[in-house]
Amino acid sequence: MRQDITQLFNIKYPIVQGGMIWVSGYKLASAVSNAGGLGLIGAGSMYPEVLREHIQKCKKATNKPFGVNVPMLYPDIEKIMKIIVEEGVKIVFTSAGNPKTWTSFLKEKGITVVHVVSSLKFALKAEAAGVDAVVCEGFEAGGHNGREETTTFTLIPIVKEQVKIPVIAAGGIGSGRGMLAAMVLGADGVQVGSRFAATKESSAHDNFKQAIVIAKEGETQLTLKELAPVRLIKNKFFNQVQELYKQAPSIEELKELLGRARAKKGMFEGDLDNGELEIGQISGLIHDIKSAKEVIDEMMIEYQEVKNSF
């Protein structure tokens, strides 16, 4: 049975904006929320006080629900969670860690908790931890990804068959057709990342936005599995990684090449040669920079038109 994501989050459309590092600031989150979706501030690239500032600005920019995405590998996680509670955030998406660690704490504060997973195994663990919903992210997704390489088309029905909580599909979804496909597979809603990265309100550098627009099918690939699997546009840095792999590198050698702040360099500062350019396979279908409202409106129109055509 389909469960109502719009009621869970008190939103108009079952569309969640991915909480992407260096991309999802308050401008994007508030624009998505104002347009009827659920906007998420991406805490993974923010110092605690920077996150507080974005939350406060988001509250001024929208009177609609919004949330915060928190990678649980974040070094200042205790400070982040404290700020979320102090600022009255009502929805938290957690990722990259054990959902047991913070779910009870957040739910005791009256916060709706959603956990991002890439496999049935972790979806069941998240459900057992008491989360309100799971985001099931397929292999097509941009940024950090699961090692299992399970595609969205396969993952959603497998998870939906065994969990009782709502399932939100992510990975390779950036259009109304993609949204409808996910719903047919059993998803209760969708999370969209890459399409929102290429919007006017995204905090990504214009160079990165244009790189998304011109990217074609086959120009992204998952790499660095030994550290944290990440899907990147193939650029100079990506090619350096591939050359290093030919030498059977140690984890330490991979870490040395990766260095620090590669994602910031690429996505936020616009260094298209030396930065990490994290984006999903759906980039091959992104051809322009739109406003977040235009993205949502067009998705919903296409969704209804295609649905009605059957």
Average pLDDT over residues 185-208: 97
Q: What is the DSSP letter of 279?
A: -
Could you tell me what percent of the chain has a pLDDT over 90?
A: 89
Q: For residue range 247-274, list pLDDT tens digits in order.
A: 999 999 999 998 888 999 999 999 999 9
Q: What angle (nearest 5°) sits at the alpha carbon of residue 26, between those of residues 196 and 129?
A: 80
pLDDT score of 132 more than 80: yes
* 283 to 5, 57, 260, 264: CA distances (angstroms): 26, 29, 25, 19
Least confident of 105-114, 260-269, 293-302: 260-269
pLDDT tens digits, 140-185:
998 888 788 899 999 999 999 999 999 999 999 999 999 999 999 9
Give the Cα separation of 83 and 157 in Å (integer): 36
Residue whose pair of structure tokens reads 């779910």 in the numeric block: 103
pLDDT in tens, 32-91: 999 999 999 999 989 999 999 999 999 999 999 999 999 988 888 999 999 999 999 999
Beta bridge partners of 189: 168
Instruction: Give the pLDDT score at 196.
Output: 98
Average confidence score pLDDT of the chain: 95
Q: What are phi and psi of 167, to 5 degrees?
A: -115, 125
Mean pLDDT of 3-30: 95
More confident of the two residues 88 and 227: 88
What is the pLDDT at residue 1?
47
Can you give the pLDDT at residue 287?
96
Neighbours of 97 (CB within 10 A): 16
pLDDT at 277 over 80: yes
Residue 156 CA: distances (Å) to CA of 7, 80, 101, 103, 240: 21, 30, 25, 23, 34
Confidence of residue 228 (pLDDT cuts 50, 70, 90): confident
Dihedral angle over CA of 16, 73, 129, 124, nearest 10: 70
Distance CA 256, CA 72 (A): 23
Q: Give the pLDDT band of residue 221 (cuts 50, 70, 90).
A: very high
Residue 206 CB coordination number (10 Å):
10
- C-alpha distance from residue 172 to each of 28, 113, 129, 291 (Å): 20, 23, 27, 19
Whether the CA torsion 61, 67, 69, 74 is positive or negative: it is positive
User: Does the pLDDT value for residue 2 go beyond 80?
Assistant: no
Q: What are phi and psi of 115, to 5 degrees?
A: -120, 140
Bridge-partner residues for 66, per DSSP? 39
List the alpha helices (DSSP H) in the chain: 5-9, 26-34, 48-61, 77-86, 103-108, 120-129, 152-160, 176-184, 194-197, 206-214, 236-245, 251-258, 262-263, 292-308
The pLDDT score that the predictor gives to residue 144 is 82
Q: What is the pLDDT of residue 148?
A: 80
